[in-house]
Amino acid sequence: MAGEAQDKNWPLPKFYFMVDWGSTTNIPFQEVSGLNIEAQPIPYRHGNSPVFSEINMPGIVKNSNVTMKKGVFANDNSFWDWYNKIKMNTIERQNVVIKLMDEGGNPTMTWTLLNAWPTKISSTDLKSNANEVAVESIEIMHEGLTIANG
């Protein structure tokens, strides 16, 4: 009925998000993918089990690589600068925070990638007959994913 209070329990749209890493905040990314975490199963059967089958136990946690894509801007080499800090056995690890925002610009869900470092950088493809924005991507590894709401 018109005029009644609306239910505020709606799924969140995924197009308004911000990414922070290190001292750099609000990096304008076009896409973030790979926010996955998985516990690898360990099949197990103890010796005195009356059941003739295995059970599965949770094992080592496997973190997926996270891929982030953004437009190429003049004088912006932030991906390359971070990647070039990889030296023999030394890496600059940073926490990366991905925030899903509400309509007021407040974070509603936050993913934090712990001790992240770049493992792959892909530059844009170049086409003389295309009318598209140049997009570069970075793939990062991390040592843990935490999720917070609100």
Q: In Å, how far are 69, 92, 97, 107 from 117, measured between CA atoms?
A: 15, 7, 13, 24
pLDDT of residue 1: 47
Integer Cα distance of 85 and 132 in angstroms: 31
Q: Give the residue from 9, 10, 140, 141 showing the smallest Cα distance to 70.
A: 140
Question: For 54-109, what is each residue's pLDDT tens digit?
Answer: 889 999 999 999 999 998 888 888 888 888 888 877 888 999 999 999 888 899 99
- What domains are there in the chain, each with its CATH number? 17-42+54-149 (2.30.110.20)
**Cβ count within 10 A of residue 66:** 23
pTM: 0.81
